[in-house]
Structure 1
């Protein structure tokens, strides 16, 4: 009878070896995890037959490995970018303003593992993107920790794991390097496509879209993920269209769209892969807005005249002086999303940092390519209208 090494990986990634157990105990663990009312969930090892993982809602991961089996060698992170001859890059495109650099480690995210999961991107001149997965597992509790440990053990890590129930984030690797949750598309390494490819495993089932009954306005953790993606210039768009319902017909996986468009993709959109997740998500909610089951709130209106008045009064005024703070805050939030203003200065006061950030927007290609005295940091209707179109408010005179 086959025996198994039994161990527990704790939420802090420390390991307790529990000795050898028989096949009957492993069969019992598997059967208990299948019960609907138990806070446990079983996953088979994708590369080693017979090996079993049991995810627990207390954050621990029980591991059962067959004794005497062939040793398992995980994929080793490769820090070197592939040469152009091996993986030719698509024609470089102009990246949005704010994309020169961005958030690498999300504040408040739980770091799990040693952070070494991938390496440099193969096609950094191509547009930035986010790839969405579902774990096909329960959410809530501390499944975030146990599922993250499982992904590390099987060397299929994304950069981020997100729980839509608790709004907690686990970060397994830096956002500017590759993850390991996608298959290659022939010689093309899909994990390393684009300036960044921020992969997010969401604790959910594809057949039950996690955006149903979920309000991004009440989820600061998810909003911090969106802000990090925007800091790298990832557009608020789904260039391959909304993810398809699961189960259902497979979507076309366009290589041209994948390689040449930036934005949000589902695992179901990636060439060379056959998974159908993340299911029929409400894309408006994913991008932080109200979805189809929620009436949209009125778009805020920001007046050029009010912003100019705020700049005239707030900059020479005492520190923290505010004039039309609600409208200034809408402007500052947009500048934060563009990666031009640190969010700690988005306080409703049109100070020198807000002025300098807006001047950078005016000088940018997206803001109008102003220069010299025209890029003075005081909003005009043309540059403000461009910013409003990207960030969901209305610009008026």
Structure 2
């Protein structure tokens, strides 16, 4: 299975995962943030990547995409896993499809860009005038999910709408926001070629081969902790010590320690290669899957105590409505059950954070999916079923 989380992306998991509609072919939808209105006569300063990440992870979460892409630096943030819908297009009641879900995947990308943005002294009229840094990595990951290299309604070259419901429902590939039925946005205006590797819209000369490419020097965020060049903290030391214990410490001259250096990156790249990763997936910057395999868990906030959720499942149904025995951990389990389609996130009756009767019933349905029956599918979590839910939805199980 391809990576649910793009290798090298900064992970800011919003939760609230929900399945897509598998009867439609796989799609990617291209957007620009277009957060300011500028003109050739009156350009405006570019709105930064970090400010857009902050917006979509806070007040803008209700319209968040899967991917936020900085075409100037190549930084990429991911907010939803590939197999979940995100929320960047309208899905009005009269739509024949749920537009955010109309595909085996429907991966939505927001390029941090608006026409005539100014970066330093340079003004960029269209997205393809930027360096398009990181596009090759982003395109490769989306292709791994079966999205074909085609624009069924034409590659965007201007800000006009071209919408066709029949094509939308029947053909996989890349779509502009301007192509999505019953939407009114006309972005992105332009988009890089599938074979483009960065540097703007004009063909770039082939550089002289570099015998010793520099290690990757960017950071990623996993469960709120930083990894990659320049990251600092106990989590960096923990990774280095685990690499040495596994026999991947040959690039250290001293350490490991709490400051992530090129040596950490090179050792981690060796470890990724040992797992069968290659290319940008083995550039030495951790992804959630490889990190969990190295450490046996994902450090950070997404962990659940088996004893706590069992206690909640035994206590909350008989307590007063909405009682929360271990609310934060139960919420993690409930978010996963929502992503599995076993709880309806739009129905507040089940009580977020409370392991009440509706959550017990939903967990029983999950146990049945795990091939349990009878008293083994009574809705009270067991270690195996909870670990399988955690493996599918990026939380770890303790106790």
Q: TM-score w.r.t. structure 1 length?
A: 0.44
State the structure with bigger RCO (CA 8 A, min sep 6), 1 or 2.
Answer: 2
Higher relative helix content: 2
